[in-house]
Structure 1
Amino acid sequence: MKYNLKNRTVIITGASSGIGRHMVREVSKRGANTIILARSTDKLARLKSEIEMQYDVNVEPFTLDLGDLHGVKETFEQINLNWPTIHVLINNAGFGIFDYFEQAKLEDMKRMFEVNVLGMMALTRMILPKMLQQGEGHIINIASIAGKLATPKSSVYSSTKSAVLGFSNGLRMELAGKGVKVTTVNPGPVKTNFFQMADPEGNYQANVARWMIEPEYVARKVVEAIGKNRREINLPFFMGAGARLYQVFPTLVEKALGRWINKK
């Protein structure tokens, strides 16, 4: 049974492109009003115009860099003041840079944790009291299969996504019985501009092209999970199965898949 999103309010971060952009479309089709956040003012403005021309919904854009905790606080104070009810928060914003650890830059490491982890936690902290007061809400955190199965050149990025998973699991237990659901979504490689920064040479994309999934598919699966008690969604299924196998037999999986996971 679909959760009724008509006239509900959904916050989506990283909304200007990729999975985030498609999620805005998916919830708008279902009648939800959205608060969209990203760093690109122009892209947000275009998305607002496109969505409001096609659907009878309201879209409110906010330009925000999640790595700026002061900006997160100011923005969400404004959101809390102007929107009495927030039904869904989708923490989608994030980025990665693939480097062997001995070559990784400290500023890149810091930036990934600031955006992927601390920024996500900060805005969740700003919205959570409202959801608890309402007695309902759904927090959906977009993590990654990489958070379960780290590979060479993604040790730092995988660490940030492992942190998202750990945070989500602990928060879910804290909120049990309080009406607020917590779901994590773990996609494998997705055909988005994520890899323009993560893999500028294109080697990884070329090697895993056959397994890459479409952002529309991920967005649809995320939106279909709204309102449901889904602990976790792994996309595609076989990568989720591989991650579970790795948790049970890590040495075996590293040996068996060593050649494949070194394709970055």
Structure 2
Amino acid sequence: MKNTVLITGASEGLGKSFAIESAKRGLDLVLISLPDSGLEHLANYLRINFNCCVFCIGIDLTQSNSAEEIFAIICKNQIKITVLINNAGLGNWSWFEEKSNDFYKTQIALNITNTVLLTKLFLNHIDKKQPSYILNVGSLGGHFIVPKKQVYGATKSFIGYFTRCLQLELSGTNVNISLLSPGGINTKPELLVMNNSLKGFAKATILEADYVANAAISGLFKGKREIIPGFANRFLLVLDKIIPSFFKEIIIRRKLKAILSV
């Protein structure tokens, strides 16, 4: 049976790279993004260049019933999903008090609630006798304390915990679940400008979206439990486990002082 992958946040950035990488591998696609976000243009490109079936759903994932609506549309069109990529998310780089309550409600709904509900519906949708796959997009930020990413990092920590629990609950089944924990990714022009200003080891942790998508999907089909693209990012995680907590707090406080003095 040919695999069909559902990708959220598919119109740009890492989600778009996931769509292209999946099409290259011969998968059919269901692409999810906001209405009028260019999904059909991407879908036509994929159909022409990779001869795959592409179905688009334009929907606001922060709406409370969006997950149910997506699977109602899928069932109505008799589409059988075998791969779920929970990619959609909202980040920020700001002090906690700078953002509004509505921003945090949206961030939590998109990063956490949407992922949980889509995963639940996907597990109800699949035939567990056949191989199926879930890729949850977390972040290295979910492993570290990062000032100015307080809520974003917390949502990604949630995704990590949620994914690891599911891996244990579904062990011994044909459902393969992977956690993607990337570092910085060049996904938007403003990020590209900011990342280009980095130097040394910090610059080495930044990766291109196409590279991350390739590593993630390869790792998913190989059954990797956690996928951390890039040697520098894997080294950072090892270093974090070695350095004592009190010393890491000193480093973070010094970094905060540097930020405040700018």
Q: Shorter-chain TM-score: which interval?
A: 0.7 to 0.9
Specify the alignment match of 1:104 in structure 2: 99
CA contact (8 A) 2:61 2:67 kept: yes
SS in 2 for 1:115: helix
Corresponding position: 1:124 with 2:119: yes
**178-187 vs 236-245, greater mean Cα deviation:** 236-245
Deviation at 1:256, TM superposition (A): 4.4
Specify the alignment match of 1:34 in structure 2: 29
Match for 1:220 among 202, 214, 218? 214
Corresponding position: 1:187 with 2:182: yes
**How many residues of Structure 1 are paired with residues of Structure 2 in the alignment?**
255
Deviation at 1:250, TM superposition (A): 2.6
**64-73 vs 248-257, greater mean Cα deviation:** 248-257
SS in 2 for 1:178: coil
Larger RCO (CA under 8 A, 6+ residues apart): 1
Match for 1:43 among 38, 61, 64? 38
Q: Report the residue type matching 1:210 in the other structure.
A: K
Cα deviation code 1:149-201 (max 9, x no counterpart): 121100111001001111101111111111101101111110012x85xx7xx
Deviation at 1:228, TM superposition (A): 1.8
Given the superposition, is the C-alpha separation of residues 21 and 133 from structure 1 closer, same or farther in structure 2, using an over 3 Å criterion? Answer: same
Q: TM-score, normalised by structure 2?
A: 0.87
Specify the alignment match of 1:240 in structure 2: 234
Deviation at 1:118, TM superposition (A): 0.3
Specify the alignment match of 1:210 in structure 2: 203
Q: Report the residue type matching 1:10 in the other structure.
A: V
Corresponding position: 1:250 with 2:250: no
Give the Cα–Cα distance (whole angstroms) in 1 for the partners of residues 167 and 131 of structure 2.
13
Cα deviation code 1:10-46 (max 9, x no counterpart): 1111110111111111111121100010114341010
Q: TM-score, normalised by structure 1?
A: 0.87
Give the Cα–Cα distance (whole angstroms) in 2 for the partners of residues 100 and 25 of structure 1.
35
CA contact (8 A) 2:67 2:118 kept: yes
Give the Cα–Cα distance (whole angstroms) in 2 for the partners of residues 255 and 190 of structure 1.
27
Give the Cα–Cα distance (whole angstroms) in 2 for the partners of residues 214 and 167 of structure 1.
26
Q: Report the residue type matching 1:184 in the other structure.
A: L
Give the Cα–Cα distance (whole angstroms) in 1 for the partners of residues 104 and 222 of structure 2.
34
Specify the alignment match of 2:72 in structure 1: 77
Give the Cα–Cα distance (whole angstroms) in 2 for the partners of residues 134 and 183 of structure 1.
19
Alignment root-mean-square deviation, CA: 2.5
Specify the alignment match of 2:168 in structure 1: 173
**Identity of paired residues, percent?**
28
**172-181 vs 64-73, greater mean Cα deviation:** 64-73
Corresponding position: 1:231 with 2:225: yes
Match for 2:9 among 11, 14, 22? 14
Give the Cα–Cα distance (whole angstroms) in 2 for the partners of residues 102 and 157 of structure 1.
14
Deviation at 1:134, TM superposition (A): 4.2
Deviation at 1:146, TM superposition (A): 0.4
SS in 1 for 2:126: helix
Q: Report the residue type matching 1:166 in the other structure.
A: Y
SS in 2 for 1:159: helix
Deviation at 1:247, TM superposition (A): 4.1
CA contact (8 A) 2:128 2:174 kept: no
CA contact (8 A) 1:132 1:178 kept: no
